[in-house]
Amino acid sequence: MQLSSKIYAVALTAGAFSLAPAVKSQSPAKQQRPNVILIYADDLGFGDLECYGAKNVKTPAVNRLASEGTRFTNAHAAASTSTPSRYAMLTGQYAWRRPDTDVAPGNAGMIIRPEQYTMADMFKNSGYSTAAFGKWHLGLGDKTGEQDWNAPLPCGLADIGFDYSYIMAATSDRVPCVFIENGMVANYDPSAPIYVDYEKNFPGEPTGRDNPELLYNLKPSHGHDMSIVNGISRIGYMKGGGKALWKDENIADSITEHAIEYMRDHASDGKPFFMYVATNDVHVPRFPHERFRGKNPMGLRGDAIVQFDWTVGRILDELDSLGLAENTLVILSSDNGPVVDDGYDDGAKELLAGHSPTGNLRGGKYSAFEGGARIPMIVRWPGKVAEGEQSDALISQVDWMQSLASLIDARMPLGSAPDSRQQLDALIGADKAGAPWVITQAYNKALTFRTADWTYIEPSAGPAIVPWGTEIETGSLSEPQLYNNASDPLQTTNVASSNPEITATLASQLSTIR
C-alpha cells in the first residue's frame, strides 16, 4: 500500500497498543498475540497425507501436527489453481473480481498492487515481523515482461507488507529458475546476466523441444519444452543465471533453511512474527533430494510428499528448540487440489498403487468439482486449539485474513479484505459449523457455490476433461449442476433438474455475491 496510508495504519495500530486496555475485554484466544506460521503446500491433495487417509506414504511430522492440533475435513482454497487461490488468500478478495489473476507466467508484473492491503500488511502494521519463503506466483516488478532481473526489482513483496522475502518468482516449472531475496536475484552471478522471455527463445539456447538429449533429470509429458535448467525443460525462455540457477533437488532445503534461519533471528527480538512458508512441494517438476527418494512405492510424487513432511518436521522441531511452540499458531494447508500428470514423465500416474490424491473426491486441480479446491488444513496452537480433534466446519481460505485480523486485533483500513469474513472461532476449531457458504473458482473461472448441504456449480462452456493432458474432469457443463453433499459427497449424480428451487436459490445467492 502507499506510504501515506501505511503510516496512517501504523499510527492507528500503535494507538491501539498504547492506549487500549487490549487484553482485558478479550476472549482467552486473544490474550497474547502468537507468532503465525502458514505452511502452504502446492498441489497437495485432500487425500495426500497419512492423517487424511493417504495410502503408501508416511507423513509423521504432519501426523504429529494433527495430533497436537485440529484437522479440518471441509476446508477450501479459493480456487483450483495457484495464482487466484493465493491472491484471494493473501488479500481477502476473490480473484475473479478482477482480471489478470489467472495462473501467472514467471515474468508477470506484481498482481497484488502496492496499494492493496494484504495479510502481510495487516501483520506488519500490527507490530509483527513478516516474511515470505518459497513459491510466490503472484508477479514481481512493475510491468509484465519488463523486469530487469540483473538489478533490484522496482516493485516487490516489501511493497505489500513482507519485511523479508526469499522466493521463487512463479513455479519451479517456469523461468526464471532462481531464488529472489528481497527483490534481487539471490547468489547473483555477474558473469551470467539473466534474460527472460515468454514469447521467443534466445538465439543458440537449447530447448526441451529441440534438444531432448539434454534432459538428463526429467522429460516433459506435455508442454514444458522450452528452456532447459538442471536437465529439466520448463515453461518460458531464459538465458544466463550461472551460479544463481537452482537445482531442483535442493529447492526444499533452500526454502526450509531460510525459514529456519528467520525463526532463529526473530525468536527473541520482542516482536511476534508472521511467516508465509510456501513450499515448492508437491508441484511439478517433482525432483526431490536424494535422501527422500524411494521411501514410498509411488515414485517422485510420493517422494515429494515425504520431502514436504520433512519441511514440516524441521519447522516444528525448530519451534520446540527455540521454545516457541506454545506461542505459535501453525496453519498447514495447500493452494489447490492435486494433479498426477501435470506435464512431466515422473511415473506419478503409473505408481499410484491405490492412492487417491483427492481422497476419492471428484475432479482435482483445475476442476470445479470438490477435488479442485478441498484441501487439507491443520491448525495447531497449544492450549488454544483442541488437540487431536477433527472439525467438519465449512472453511474458505479467503476468510483467513479477517479471522487472523480478529485474532491479533488488527485495525484494517476501510474496504480491505472485502470478501473475507471473520471466522476466527471456526479457524481455531471452536465453532464446528463454520461459514454459511464458500465460493471456489475453477481454471476456466466457473464458480462453485457450496453450503453445508449442497454444492452448486454454475454452467460454463468448455471441455469435460482438462484439454492439455492431465486427464482431470473440469466440472464444466452448459447446464447448472447440483450435488447433495450428505448423500452424494463424491458428486456422482447431478440433481439440479429434480431440485429446481434449490438450484435457483443457490444460483441467485451466488449472483448477488458476485
Please report, as ranges, the residues that interact with ligand NG6 according to CB under 6 A: 42-43, 81-82, 103, 137, 171, 173, 222-224, 235, 283-284, 336, 342-343, 468
Q: Closer to ligand NG6 by CB, 237 or 437: give it.
A: 237
> What residue type is 150 in one-letter code?
N
- Smallest gap, in angstroms, from Cβ of residue 339 to ligand NG6? 8
Q: Residue 101 interacts with Ca ion (CB under 5 A)?
A: no
Distance CA 281, CA 267 (A): 26
How many CB atoms lie under 10 A from the CB of residue 135?
Answer: 27
SS3 of residue 261 by DSSP: helix
- Smallest gap, in angstroms, from Cβ of residue 41 to Ca ion? 8
Pairing mode, if any, of strands 437-441 and 232-233? unpaired
Identify the CA nearest to 167 among candidates 45, 291, 40, 269.
40
- Smallest gap, in angstroms, from Cβ of residue 217 to ligand NG6? 16
- Smallest gap, in angstroms, from Cβ of residue 285 to ligand NG6? 9
Find which of Ca ion, ligand NG6, none residue 386 binds, CB within 5 to 8 Å per kind: none
Distance CA 503, CA 510 (A): 11
Distance CA 183, CA 149 (A): 9
Cell of 348: 506419478
Cell of 196: 527472460
- Smallest gap, in angstroms, from Cβ of residue 85 to Ca ion? 7
Find which of Ca ion, ligand NG6, none residue 137 binds, CB within 5 to 8 Å per kind: ligand NG6
SS3 of residue 228 by DSSP: strand
Q: How many residues bind Ca ion (CB under 5 A)?
A: 5
Q: Closer to ligand NG6 by CB, 282 or 393: give it.
A: 282
The mark string for 291-320 relative to Ca ion (x by CB under 5 A, - otherwise) is ------------------------------
Q: Residue 43 interacts with Ca ion (CB under 5 A)?
A: yes
Cell of 159: 511493497
Show contacts with Ca ion in window 70-89 (CB under 5 A). Answer: 82
Distance CA 31, CA 1 (A): 29
Find which of ligand NG6, Ca ion, none residue 281 binds, CB within 5 to 8 Å per kind: none
Q: Closer to Ca ion by CB, 71 or 137: give it.
A: 137
Identify the CA nearest to 438 among candidates 424, 411, 420, 425.
420
Q: Closer to Ca ion by CB, 40 or 188: give it.
A: 40
Q: Closer to ligand NG6 by CB, 236 or 302: give it.
A: 236
H, E, C per residue of 159-213: HHCCCEEEEECCCCCECCCEEEECCEECCCCCCCCCEEECCCCCCCCCECCCCHH
Q: Closer to Ca ion by CB, 69 or 359: give it.
A: 359
Find which of Ca ion, ligand NG6, none residue 223 binds, CB within 5 to 8 Å per kind: ligand NG6
- Smallest gap, in angstroms, from Cβ of residue 468 to ligand NG6? 5
Q: Residue 336 interacts with Ca ion (CB under 5 A)?
A: yes
Find which of ligand NG6, Ca ion, none residue 421 binds, CB within 5 to 8 Å per kind: none
Please list the helix, strand and coil fractions of the chain in percent, rounded to the nearest 5, in that order. 25, 20, 55
Cell of 248: 531442483
- Smallest gap, in angstroms, from Cβ of residue 223 to ligand NG6? 3
Structural contact between residues 196 and 236, judged by C-beta atoms closer than 8 angstroms:
yes
Find which of ligand NG6, Ca ion, none residue 235 binds, CB within 5 to 8 Å per kind: ligand NG6
Q: Closer to Ca ion by CB, 335 or 346: give it.
A: 335
SS3 of residue 434 by DSSP: strand
Q: Closer to Ca ion by CB, 233 or 279: give it.
A: 279
* Terminal C-alpha separation, the chain: 25
Q: Closer to Ca ion by CB, 82 or 448: give it.
A: 82
Q: Residue 335 interacts with Ca ion (CB under 5 A)?
A: yes
Q: Closer to ligand NG6 by CB, 180 or 506: give it.
A: 180
- Smallest gap, in angstroms, from Cβ of residue 364 to Ca ion? 11
Cα dihedral across residues 114, 261, 279, 62: positive or negative: negative
- Smallest gap, in angstroms, from Cβ of residue 110 to ligand NG6? 17
Distance CA 383, CA 341 (A): 41
Find which of ligand NG6, Ca ion, none residue 173 binds, CB within 5 to 8 Å per kind: ligand NG6
The DSSP output letter for 496 is: T
- Smallest gap, in angstroms, from Cβ of residue 179 to ligand NG6? 17
Cα dihedral across residues 477, 481, 486, 487: positive or negative: negative
Q: Closer to ligand NG6 by CB, 69 or 84: give it.
A: 84
Q: Residue 281 interacts with Ca ion (CB under 5 A)?
A: no
* β-sheet bridge partners, residue 168: 135, 179
Residue with the shortest CB distance to Ca ion: 82
Identify the CA nearest to 408 among candidates 163, 161, 122, 132.
122
Which positions touch Ca ion (CB under 5 A)?
42-43, 82, 335-336
